[in-house]
Structure 1
Amino acid sequence: MKHFIFLSLCLITVFSSCEQNNLQQKETGKISWPEITPEMKPWTRWWWHGSAVTEKGLTASLEAYKEAGLGGVEITPIYGVKGEEKQFIDFLSPDWTEKLVYTLKESERLGLGVDLANASGWPFGGPWVGAETASRYFTSQVFNVAGGETFSTNIAYMQQPVLRMQDGKKVQINDVKEPLSTYGDLQEYAFDQVRLEKPLPLILVSAHKSGQDGFTEKIDLTNQVEDGQLTWVVPEGEWVICALFEGLHGKQVERAGPGGEGNVIDHFSRSALDGYLDKFDTAFKNHDLNYLRYYFNDSYEVDDAHGEANWTPDFFTAFQQLNDYDLRNYIPALLGRDTEEMNGRVIYDYRWTISQLLLENYTKPWQKWASAQGKGIRNQAHGSPANVLDLYAASDVPEIEGREIVNLKSAASAAHVTGKKLISSESATWLNEHFESNWGDVKNAVDNMFLSGVNHIFYHGTAYSPQEAMWPGWLFYAAVHFTPTNSLWDDFKTLNQYVARSQSFLQAGRPANDILVYFNVADHWSERGNYMLKHFHSNTLFDDLSLKVCGDYLSENGYSWDAISDQQLQDVTYEVNQLLTNGNSYKTILIPEASLMPAETFEKLINLANEGATLLFVKDLPKAAPGMGGKAEGTQKIAHLKNELSFKQEGNRCMAAYGKGLIVVAEELPELVTYSGVQPESFYNDGLQSIRRLKDDGNYYYFIKNTSDTLFKGWIALQVDYTSAALYNPMTGAEGYAFTKSDERKTVIYVSIRPEESIVVETFKDIYTGELYPFYEILDNAVALSDWKIDFIKGGPILPESVSTEKLQSWVNYGSDYEHFSGTAEYMTIIPSLSESTDAWLLRLDNVHESAAIYLNDKHIGTLLNAPYELEIPVEALHGNDTLKIAVSNLMANRIAYMDKQGMTWRKFYNINFAARRAENRGEDGIFSARNWNPKASGLSGEVTLIPLKRTIK
């Protein structure tokens, strides 16, 4: 208690007043980093090849991950390793479940979290998914007939055969027999999609009479088909006969492990999902899975195959319940054979129904199933033919993947709008070719995620590998290899510490974005296109919408925003000059160019304006409502609401006061956004980007990154109310109060941020002072270091002999043993006594391939992962004749190239073995090969210098 009281008194002690930057000090506070929890650390997808895991291997792996600074794992069982078949464990078998329970216990002991993929591979499916619950498609035949004739034909559809395999044992389609389980070892065959040549069952046959404005009459002919033959005397007029057939899509679980191979489920069927999850209930019964946190679903990848899964047996019933009309009366429009307007309205309703089925029959019940166990779901909704914002919102943790910030914001938007704490990401998937990515590349990919709103990083990923496995061990085909055999592994903990420190701020408080951007899907779904469904893929999620134009403009110009769906918009309220969404607040709503909009959405927007909101419409108000429901009543409602608005032209804008609010229409985005009163972060003009969060005490955190290739040094303004600020560097751990001054009645702060460097700003409304963040100015008289001894301490295929040199160059220049080496070398020299009077020294390394851990007198003082390779050394750390050691690790690439040139077998995986990311790296067998690679630069080259620094004083 005495100790506690003493610390408390220290934190609240008020020192004598002083003046700093023309601001009067009110109190002195001590800044501190947030406490790091396992959830703040980066996690990793953990592939279990063939689930060939042992308790010894599990413990060793988990301990290595813990030591490297990971916070948890997500178990995803996948295909096996050739030669290890005796170690395979069937997915969800009693032995497999025991290994899961053991993993949970060991992870709990080590303080690591655990999530579990709800499948072996992806998407959901397996051997217990029979034909009655497997994914389906429909196809059609259309006949044009004239009145007065007798139409007689065989109504039949012979399915065309499809066989897709992933690097498995090849078979010919004519030799394939169903069920596929008759092949026994499905690991060997790696089926991806199978359709056999056979007649498809008939769904319906209907005749539709053509009129001047479309089809006017419909006759159901289904019951007139006898033994596959339809004979019909055609009434007067022109008719179209449509026949629909149902088939199994044939999609198989991708990358499935033993016991997980089989059909993918029908995602639109509740009974299919329930039957699928029953298998897990049975397997986990009487086992303690309390420590398991979330279940996981990889992205919807049913349709990355031939054709689309676009049907479910109860579709007509579900459609009528959701749309209040019978789709069977509008089959020509469904098939794009009606008028352009009718085609658009019916296809919109069809796609909206598919979206609702994915939400109500799959995502929500899956979450409810997990919740009943005291767990949650992490869900990658992207890739699906649905309103992904609604699917993300139904998930406990929305998860995104990709590289482009605007599209990445989809998952974060749903989380922000619905008040969810965590947004996760599949991070660093196949950044470069295999073995060519360094931790700096990963950091930049992670920073992109942070800037999009992600705050729960999952690496992609880490493969379980036995300790005795030959180097490079077991690997996944599409990954940066976050595995202990990676020659960069020893420096991995530095990256993980950076991610943990960043996420400790990014998981705090709540998002603080200004603008809601309407996710205008109606136009998109009403455009027929070449396919029945329209999918929202992670890298192109918003690309086909006018929202993308708005998102690009806002993001490039420093405006903070989130997207919002029609359904989510219904929950928005307006109070005290704010738009409120489940605990988060916004200042305005931006509506991208939209010809079509659901009437209830437009009505909601008008009601919000009436209550005081400002609405910003790009180019025009919507002209009509989509779907058949919008043909009359919906469009009339929109017209009625528009008639209540009285617009006046003001410059390039049209303005309408409505109730307490305002509606603004303009052709150009700058005209709209500037009028909203929302101010952008001006530092975006200097190549800086940010994400902002509001703390519980009303202050803010900013995560700011220099995305340019030049040093930024100067004063920046933040678009929040604050008087003083603190700075935190998540890579180096440096901290301190910011230099502040008043600039045109606004507080500005001084920062110096290197290219690709990130910094966190914490703002305070009160005035706090204390130790300032250490910024430095470079002085003249740099000291070049020489006389290097290089010792190769870790790696292979062999450890080369030590080298002594005056001039640093890539170690591959020293001979063949060095060309083939991947691992770590220690560069050592003595720093002479330095006479320069200075505040600190800058250690600058010209070129590093790829990361460098710095030791001064055997004490670790920092690790450098990316350019510029610079580290500040306090002057008091140098005493004269100090020993400088730089442990440099290179890529795995040179050793892999050596193995390929020697014909050594390390690619020994079932299912996909081993795909190249770039075509030029495919060997004669079509798989990845490094045999033609030249040695990649390794180690230090150029100069290593010490540069005197003077503490910046503002």
Structure 2
Amino acid sequence: MKRSLALLLLASLTAQAQAPKWPAITQQTKPWTRWWWEGSAVNKADLTHLLTEYQKAGLGGMEITTIYGVKGAESQFIDFLSPKWMDMLSHTLTEANRLGLGIDMAQASGWPFGGPWVAPADASKYVAYKTFEVKGGASLAEPVTFMQKPIANAVGHKVDLKQLSDPVATNKNLQTLALDQVRFEKPLPLQTLIAYSDKGETLDLTTKVDLKGKLTWTAPAGGTWTLYALFQGWHGKQVERAGPGGEGDVIDHLSKPATDHYLAYFDKAFKGHDVKPIRAFFNDSYEVDDAQGEANWTPAMLAEFSRRRGYDLRQHLPALFGKASEDENQRVLTDYRETISELLLENYTKTWGAWAKTHDALIRNQAHGSPANILDLYAATDIPETEGENLTRIKFASSAAHVTGKPLASAETATWENDHFLSKLSDIKKAIDRMLLGGVNHVFYHGTAYSPPAAKWPGWLFYAAVEFNPQNPFWTDFGKLNQYTARAQSFLQAGQPSNDVLLYLPQSDAYTRPGKVLLQHFDGIEHGFKGMPVEGTSELLLAKGYGYDFISDKQVQQVKNDGAALLTSGGARYQTLLVPDAHLMPLLTLESLLRLAQNGATIVLQNQAPADVPGLGNLENRRVNFQKLLAQFKFKDAKDGVRQATVGKGRVLLGADVSQLLTQAGVKRETLVDNGLEFIRRRHEGGHTYFLANWGEKPVAAWVPLATAAKSATLFNPMTEQAGLATLRPTAQGTPEVYVQLAPGETCLLDTNEATATGPVYPYLTLTATPQALSTPWDLSFVSGGPELPAKQQLKELTSWTNLGEAGKKFSGAASYTTTFALPQGTADGFLLDLGRVAQSARVQLNGQPVATLLGPAYQVYLPKNQLKASNTLTVTVSNLMANRIEDLDRNHVDWKIFYNTNMPAKLKENRGPDGLFTTEGWKPLESGLLGPVTLTPASVGAPVQ
């Protein structure tokens, strides 16, 4: 007997010693938030107080972004980068360090980069053109001039251009003006004047034009000449949402001198201050061309084009503007767009990154929306950042991070999950999960407005729809969401990416497509590649369970062989590279694909091999070399409609069916998607980590197949914090199946290992009887919130607060429900407590001890029998949203919209009032509180039957 007890004790100690261990939670694994400094009306005492609140809530860091101010706080405004502003920044850095918080800083007040120190020479530019017809022997009578048409656009009101001075930054009261774009009526400087004859001759007439635009030139006799005059215009884009001291022109992102001059202003402001604690400088997306026209020119454009493309653009101006043959039009347009892309990469992104290094800092960059290959822009960024809701869009930033070896990919998260005051913590969790599934592992909430504790409720807010502020009732449960995110990211920031397919981005095919304007702006697949084969292919790969990353031409050219595998510049390994029905491909890219195949790789071509090179420079020579390379692909029929060409040690596969192509390339899909699960996978020493999500409306309790080898696996639930060895069973394919239980909206991390492991088993639940309703009365007590606390009462039946009188209808905050129940009869291991419907989040206590914080959409928690007594006290504290209290303010015409500039626009048109601003006057109070029914279901704990 003693020996048996000793063995049991030893087994228990061994299990404890080998208990699953969660990765450490760090500043970087916690979620961060964008911290809006409205009007920079901050003070040291409130900065310290708020930073402490953010730290208590489980945030890891803040990104300081200064924006427009609050009406009534003008005396507290601080000019961006002024000595006083820098003093506030220094205080923030000191206090953040004390509290263990990180600090990033947006490098503009608002966005994009710009400000009052941006001189006209450094401001964004556009190209305008004019044509003239001159017959042989004649001269041009009219002047070669172009008068810029005036524009004066502001946010929320009309502005009289005649009342504005030039440059814009010299105007007073720019906060009230809230200017978006300004162009003054003035003549534009001539860039070049080229004459084209109907016989194919060209003449450069630029030097023959005087300052008044008079052309001194007589056309040679015979034929007709068409003259193209290019002019440089001032785009006029102003910094959006700028705060005091940050208003002004946006920079010319294509000009290195403009970028250097812009950054030098920060060096001047930083002098005498220690800014080393700033982890990263941030750019909030391109967004120059969301005004009229586009920033498509820079003073050095003609010289840069000639140097990069190998020919003189001035010889092909008709083609640039779509007036030559279709083929020449496409080729010149492609070359122009490629040049713009390179200038944006080198003169802005890389220049900015190099400057940041002089301050020992990183750059975080939202490249989407740029008129460029955004994969290359992201690749030049230390922390690529995305936003949005489409997984293929999200994957552009994470792909660049994976391919180039960046450890972090961040995301502006939960920007507009719903209209104002309607986003639940469960909505935000789904937004976070979407980012994690897209390869993001560093979440930034959007965002948290600095709001002084003394500010009248609802405090200082930002115009985007989710308010991550202490005045939001969900703040009481926000810490649970932050803990969840930190636990998930602690896994997803570790190891290396584990995707099998490199999906080639056919940028050249996209560049050839004409549009209403010269440039294209790329924002994931939906903007720039819409309707192209890569759109359908990328969605197919997601749906079928193939892990993939996008790759650009420049990145392909850096890929190396590792046996049959592909090794990117960042050290990530892939099984194959898929070209999705591309027509055009740069010669260097095709050379790289051939080299990889010759050295043992498998390259997959969907539908066709690329047929031609893009661009016009040195065209015939490039075409000849391109065809020589293609001639080495001698395809023969293989099977299932796939053709194969043996190339050196490797092969090239060609076919229409992507799934068949990848199967023959040896790529296994993760068939767990057939169970309705979403996933992302990472590799670590000895195994893999899967992040699994159930986005369906029904629970998943199933054997889930894995495409990777494993002899053991540990399940971690980042919300409940449960962990234990998963139950595995082998399959005929040589890879295992794992048993997974996930409620709707629930996620888990599955950490596999190719070695066996021992330890405690994951606590799988098996429901053993029907639910038993808790029918005892509830004592309801409102504990925090306002505008006033409704009276305590006892409820025989659960109902919404909005049914409890006027005070309940307008209440936003938290209330506690308490009841007692007897220990249920039976031999169950415990009971599944299901709260039914909850509006919107709940904290559960049993017999005075905290049990769980439940965010939804499922509100369930397991109660072990050993935690229950003969008589038990259950307390459920529910927090609702800001909506009902805001609705009460609007109904009583209380003006809480007190912000300069955009001042709370609505996402949905039905929520816009007569003034065009957001209003809730048409709303009815939203259900709030514990709605039930609350049930207990007997359950057993243990491994499932195999």
* Structure-1-length-normalised TM-score: 0.95
Q: Partner of 1:6 in structure 2?
A: none
Q: 2:937 and 2:119 mapped to 1: Cα distance?
A: 70
C-alpha distance after superposition, 1:762-789 (max 9, x if no partner): 1111111221101111122422113011
1:782 aligns with 2:766: no
Mapping for residues 363-382 of structure 1, pairs under 5 Å:
363-382=349-368
Q: Is the 1:14–1:28 Cα contact (8 Å) retained in structure 2?
A: no
From 663, 670, 680, give the equivalent of 2:659: 670
Q: Does the aligned pair in 1 maintain the 2:392–2:525 contact within 8 Å?
A: no
- Residues 196/449 of structure 1: CA separation in 2 closer, same or farther (3 Å cut): same
Superposed CA deviations along residues 291-321 of structure 1, whole A, max 9, x for unmatched, are 1110001000110100000101111111111
2:203 pairs, out of 219, 224, 227, with 219
Output the TM-score relative to the length of structure 2: 0.96
1:285 aligns with 2:271: yes
Q: Aligned equivalents of 1:137 and 1:781: distance in 2?
A: 70
Match of 1:251 in 2: 237
Give the corresponding residue for 2:27.
38
Identity value in percent: 47
Q: Give the Cα–Cα distance (whole angstroms) in 2 for the partners of residues 123 and 142 of structure 1.
A: 33
Does structure 2 retain, via aligned residues, the 8 Å contact 1:779–1:948? Answer: yes
Counterpart CA distance in 2 for 1:782 and 1:691 is 35
Deviations 1:650-673 (A, max 9, x none): 341221111011111112222212
Give the Cα–Cα distance (whole angstroms) in 2 for the partners of residues 638 and 385 of structure 1: 27
Of 43, 49, 52, the match for 1:54: 43
- Structure 2 counterpart of 1:580, which letter? L
C-alpha distance in structure 1 between counterparts of 2:842 and 2:687, whole Å: 37
Q: Deviations over 1:556-606 (max 9, x none)?
A: 110000011111111100122210012110000000111111011011101
1:355 alignment counterpart: 341
Aligned-partner SS, 1:830:
strand
1:724 corresponds to which residue? 712
2:188 pairs with 1:203: no
Q: Decide whether aligned partners of structure 1 residues 756 and 16 sit closer, same or farther in structure 2, where only a CA change above 3 A counts.
A: closer
1:93 corresponds, among 82, 87, 90, to 82
- Give the Cα separation in 1 of the matches to 2:508 and 2:192: 29
Name the CA distance, whole Å, in 2 between partners of 1:539 and 1:479: 25
Report the counterpart of residue 192 of structure 1 in structure 2. 180
* Residues 225-273 of structure 1: CA deviation (Å, up to 9, x unaligned): 2322336433322432111111110001011110000110010111111
**Superposed CA offset, 1:325-359 (max 9, x none):** 11111111111111111111111111111000011
Amino acid of the structure 2 residue aligned with 1:32: K
Q: What amino acid sits opposite 1:347 in the alignment?
A: L
More deviation, 262-271/533-542: 533-542
In terms of mean alpha carbon deviation, does 378-387 or 824-833 score higher? 824-833
User: AA paired with 2:293?
Assistant: G
In structure 1, what is the equivalent of residue 802 of structure 2?
812
Residue in 2 aligned with 1:795?
Answer: 785
Are the aligned partners of 1:408 and 1:539 in contact in 2 as well (CA < 8 Å)? no
Does the CA-based 8 Å contact 1:843-1:947 persist in structure 2? yes
| Distance in 2 between residues matched to 1:310 and 1:495, nearest whole Å | 43
2:131 to 114, 117, 142: 142
Offset at residue 175 of structure 1 (A)? 3.0
Q: How far apart are residue 160 of structure 1 and its match?
A: 1.4
Once the two structures are TM-superposed, the CA of residue 368 in structure 1 deviates from its matched residue by 0.7
CA contact (8 A) 2:421 2:465 kept: no
Residue 116 (str. 1) matches residue 105 (str. 2): yes
Q: Residue 828 in 1 paired to residue 827 in 2? A: no
Whether the 8 Å CA contact 1:401–1:538 is kept in 2: the answer is: no
Structure 1 CA distance, aligned partners of 2:410 and 2:920? 33
2:560 aligns with 573
Counterpart in 1 of 2:425? Answer: 439
Aligned residue type for 1:611: N
- Is 1:649 the counterpart of 2:637? The answer is yes
- 1:635 matched residue in structure 2: 623
Residues 39 and 68 of structure 2 are in contact (CA less than 8 Å); yes or no, is this contact kept in structure 1? yes
Alignment of structure 1 residues 296-315 onto 2, 5 Å: 296-315=282-301
Instruction: Choose the corresponding residue for 2:855, options 865, 872, 891.
Output: 865
Q: Secondary structure at the match of 1:442?
A: helix
Equivalent residue for 2:416?
Answer: 430
Shift of 1:539: 7.3
**Please, which runs of 5 or more residues in structure 1 have no aligned partner?**
1-9, 19-24
Equivalent residue, structure 2, for 1:230: 215
Q: Which residue of 1 aligns with 2:602?
A: 614
> Equivalent residue for 1:22?
none
Equivalent of residue 874 in structure 1, options 864, 869, 888: 864
Q: The residue matched to 2:835 in structure 1 has which SS? A: strand
Report if aligned partners of 2:711, 2:754 keep a CA contact under 8 Å in 1: yes
Partners in 1 of 2:260 and 2:840 — Cα distance? 49
Contact 1:400/1:538 (<8 A) preserved: no
Cα distance in 2 for residues equivalent to 1:491 and 1:820: 20
CA contact (8 A) 1:382 1:541 kept: no
Please tell me the residue identity of whatever aligns with 1:230.
Answer: L
Amino acid of the structure 2 residue aligned with 1:233: T
Distance of aligned partners of 1:542 and 1:731 in 2 relative to their CA distance in 1, 3 Å threshold: farther
Q: Provide the residue aligned with 2:905 in structure 1.
A: 915
Distance across 1 between alignment mates of 2:228 and 2:653:
47
- Give the 3-state SS of the residue equivalent to 2:617 in structure 1: helix
State the Cα distance separating 1:28 from its structure 2 match: 8.4
Structure 2 unaligned residues grouped into runs of 5+: 1-5
Q: Which amino acid aligns with 1:497?
A: Q
Amino acid at match of 1:549: G
Contact 1:91–1:257, Cα closer than 8 Å, also in 2: yes
- In the alignment, the residues of structure 2 paired with residue 944 and residue 261 of structure 1 have an alpha-carbon distance, to the nearest angstrom, of 55
Matched AA of 2:711: T
User: Shift of residue 833 of structure 1?
Assistant: 2.6
* Secondary structure, counterpart of 1:295 in structure 2: strand
For residues 272 and 369 of structure 2, what CA distance do their matches in structure 1 show?
Answer: 36
Deviations 1:535-572 (A, max 9, x none): 01257256434322221111111000001111111110
Question: Which of the numbers 514, 523, 532 marks the counterpart of 2:500?
Answer: 514
Question: Match of 1:934?
Answer: 924
How many Å separate the matches in 1 of 2:337 and 2:169? 34
What letter matches 1:872 in structure 2? Answer: Y
Q: Does 1:559 align with 2:549?
A: no
> Which whole-Å CA distance do the structure 2 matches of 1:434 and 1:681 have between them?
38
Q: 1:896 Cα shift?
A: 0.4
CA distance in 2, matches of 1:529, 1:259: 37
- CA distance 1:428–1:630, shift in 2 (3 Å): farther
Is the CA contact (8 Å cut-off) linking 1:808 and 1:940 kept in structure 2?
Answer: yes
- Cα distance between partner residues in 2 of 1:437 and 1:840: 34
Trace 1:717-796 onto structure 2 (pairs within 5 A).
717-744=705-732, 745-785=734-774, 786-796=776-786
Displacement of 1:923 = 0.8
Give, in angstroms, the shift of residue 17 of structure 1.
15
Identify if the C-alpha distance between structure 1 residues 16 and 860 changes in structure 2 by more than 3 Å, giving closer, same or farther: closer
Structure 1 segments, 4+ long, off by >4 Å, are 13-18
Question: Cα RMSD over matched residues?
Answer: 1.8
- Call closer, same or farther: CA 1:539–1:339 in 2, change over 3 Å: closer
Match of 2:143 among 147, 154, 171: 154
Q: Aligned partners of 2:691 and 2:554: how far apart in 1?
A: 30
Aligned to 2:3: none
Give how far 1:153 is off: 1.8
Describe the shift of the 1:189–1:539 C-alpha distance in structure 2 as closer, same or farther (beyond 3 A): farther
**Size of the alignment, in residue pairs?**
930
Equivalent residue number for residue 246 of structure 2:
260
Q: 1:127 aligns with which of 103, 109, 116?
A: 116
Question: Residues of 2 paired with 1:648 and 1:394: CA distance?
Answer: 40
Is 1:414–2:404 an aligned residue pair? no
SS of 2:79's partner is: coil
Query: Which of 345-354 and 177-186 deviates more?
Result: 177-186
